[in-house]
Amino acid sequence: MTKSKELFNDAVNLMPGGVNSPVRAFRAVGGDPVFFASAKGPMLTDVDGEDYIDYIGSWGPFILGHSHPRVVEALHAQLDRAMSFGAPTEIENELAQKIIEIVPSIEMVRMVNSGTEATLSAIRLARAFTKRDKIIKFEGCYHGHGDSFLIKAGSGVATLGLPDSPGVTPSTANDTLTARYNDRASIEELVTEFPDQIACIILEPVVGNMGCVPPQDGFLQDVRDLCTREGILLIFDEVMTGFRLAPGGAQERFGVTPDLTTLGKIIGGGLPVGAYGGRRDIMEMVAPAGPMYQAGTLSGNPLAMTAGLETLRVLTENPELYPKLDAQTARLEEGFQSNLDDMDLPYTINRVGSMITLFFTERNVRNWDDAKTCDTGLYGSYFSEMLRRGIYLPPAQFEAAFLSIMHDDDIIARTVEANRESLKVIKRNG
Ligand code: KE4
């Protein structure tokens, strides 16, 4: 028995499903999760000493690859000074300043400890600012596990087939309206049905949580124009896309400016950080400047701030990393397409920058209705064959894969070869 298996056998008696986040449990792909021991650059090593090329990067944070030397060195230095105070520190000013410099929409920012905290704080703020109760989200988008978001959500909720989680009260669910992604008319219908009642529209400007789904031409600007017309706040949930699709995230890449932005993942450089920010007139409603309450014991934690700040410094000092990362991901996409075209398997690949998903469906994937036509069983078989060949993909069809700046030509070539061999097996097994 592998050590991973032994550890999982223990874990299932200690933590629900043996994990601390559902998607990690491999429920969607079968088999038992791999337990990891170490990581460096694009590589992971499991507790049995097996190496894998990592396409999760801790679900997005490791755009620089695991344990980038500058981040590790900065963390050691901070660790020798202090871990946490629960009081203001200079490094919080420095990271806030960096975010305000980089993200077009952010004039003021509040640090929190996760993407979920960022998004649930942002909608509370939108409701406080507009004095309206309802929110619009999109089917298949995931914004963390806040009650208001667990309505037709993506990511692990969709993966586990739990469209609406128990424990969310009908009154809460009643204030969450859902529209179809890339479908402006579906938003207009809700705005007409609930005039002057909608506080905000929150969306992933490029979806990662159905798998990667890009906004169709003009969609983001249409939503922006509708929000401006209706006095609705536009919230871009850039927890995944922030600092990944461009230094200023999707809003820089697509040139559309939201009223509020939520951030996470890369902003913490691998440690727990989230943030929300935007227009100063809105943010000054947040306590203690204003009446909307939000707080956190470890918000602005110096260690987490250090990992995030050093990560953003490396990215902004080396802007050529973005086109390079895009080009490497394009090479991966081309390699997969070449393999798949030879196989006559149903597929579509969506990619934006270094976010990519291979969907096992022949439909174009523009929204949740399209995404759910995928053959998730086939994805499970593909995942297992790739894992066997040392490639660690997201253990669920409805997730995006991520590359780092350390995924070089050799890494890409090895992945494309494993993809070819894996597809041959699943083709043969029918
Ligand atoms: P966290 O609370 O997990 O830090 O962030 C929630 C969140 C908010 N918004 C977006 C766009 C997100 O993608 C996420 C979290 N992403 C998932 C991956 N699809 C995290 C992985 C997991 O749930 O274990």
Q: In whole angstroms, what is the distance from residue 284 CA to residue 226 CA?
A: 24
Instruction: Judge whether residue 234 has pLDDT over 70.
Output: yes
142 as an active site residue: the answer is yes
What are the beta bridge partners of residue 355? Answer: 352, 402
- Report which protein residue has its CA nearest ligand 1's atom 1: 115
CATH architecture of 69-317: 3-Layer(aba) Sandwich (3.40)
From 19, 142, 260, give the residue whose CB has the most ligand 1 atoms within 8 Å, as the site to mutate: 142
Q: And the tokens for 387?
A: 């894992």
Q: Which one is catalytic: 265, 276, 347, 370?
A: 265
| CATH superfamily ID and name for 3-67+320-429 | Aspartate Aminotransferase, domain 1 (3.90.1150.10)
Instruction: Judge whether residue 12 has pLDDT over 90.
Output: yes
Cis omega before residue 288 (within 30°)? yes
The model's pLDDT over 238-296, given as tens digits with 9 standing for 90+, comes to 999 999 999 999 999 999 999 999 999 999 999 999 999 999 999 999 999 999 999 99
The model's pLDDT over 288-299, given as tens digits with 9 standing for 90+, comes to 999 999 999 999
Q: Which residues have CB under 6 Å of ligand 1?
A: 21, 23, 59, 114-116, 119, 142-144, 155-156, 204, 208-209, 237, 239-240, 264, 274, 399
Q: In whole angstroms, what is the distance from residue 160 CA to residue 8 CA?
A: 19
- Confidence category of residue 51, pLDDT binned at 50, 70, 90: very high
> In percent, how much of the chain has pLDDT > 90?
94
In this predicted model, which residue has the larger pLDDT, 163 or 393? 393
∠ at Cα 180 (175, 186), nearest 5°? 80
Q: And the tokens for 19?
A: 């994990």
Instruction: Judge whether residue 310 has pLDDT over 70.
Output: yes
Starting at the edge strand that comes first in sequence, how are the strands of the sheet with 108-112 ordered? 108-112, 274-278, 260-263, 233-237, 198-203, 134-138, 176-179
Say if residues 61 and 266 touch (Cβ distance below 8 Å). Answer: yes
276 as an active site residue: the answer is no
What are the extents of the domains in the chain?
3-67+320-429, 69-317
What are the beta bridge partners of residue 359? Answer: 348
Query: Which pLDDT does position 163 carry in this prediction?
Result: 58
Query: Which pLDDT does position 263 carry in this prediction?
Result: 98
- Report which protein residue has its CA nearest ligand 1's atom 18: 59
| 191: three-class secondary structure by DSSP | helix
pLDDT averaged over every residue in the chain: 96
The model's pLDDT over 81-135, given as tens digits with 9 standing for 90+, comes to 999 999 999 999 999 999 999 999 999 999 999 999 999 999 999 999 999 999 9
- Confidence category of residue 162, pLDDT binned at 50, 70, 90: low
265 as an active site residue: the answer is yes
42 CA to middle of ligand 1, Å? 21
- Confidence category of residue 342, pLDDT binned at 50, 70, 90: confident
- Confidence category of residue 151, pLDDT binned at 50, 70, 90: confident
Say if residues 201 and 234 touch (Cβ distance below 8 Å). Answer: yes
Starting at the edge strand that comes first in sequence, how are the strands of the sheet with 355-359 ordered? 348-352, 355-359, 401-402
Q: In whole angstroms, what is the distance from residue 62 CA to residue 240 CA?
A: 11
Query: Which pLDDT does position 370 carry in this prediction?
Result: 98
Q: Which one is catalytic: 175, 237, 259, 370?
A: 237
- Confidence category of residue 365, pLDDT binned at 50, 70, 90: very high
From 21, 26, 143, give the residue whose CB has the most ligand 1 atoms within 8 Å, as the site to mutate: 143
Q: Which one is catalytic: 52, 55, 142, 392?
A: 142
Say if residues 132 and 197 touch (Cβ distance below 8 Å). Answer: yes
Q: In whole angstroms, what is the distance from residue 53 CA to residue 407 CA?
A: 9
DSSP label at 270?
T
145 CA to middle of ligand 1, Å? 8
From 148, 209, 355, 402, give the residue whose CB has the most ligand 1 atoms within 8 Å, as the site to mutate: 209
What are the beta bridge partners of residue 263? Answer: 275
Say if residues 401 and 393 touch (Cβ distance below 8 Å). Answer: yes
Say if residues 206 and 245 touch (Cβ distance below 8 Å). Answer: yes
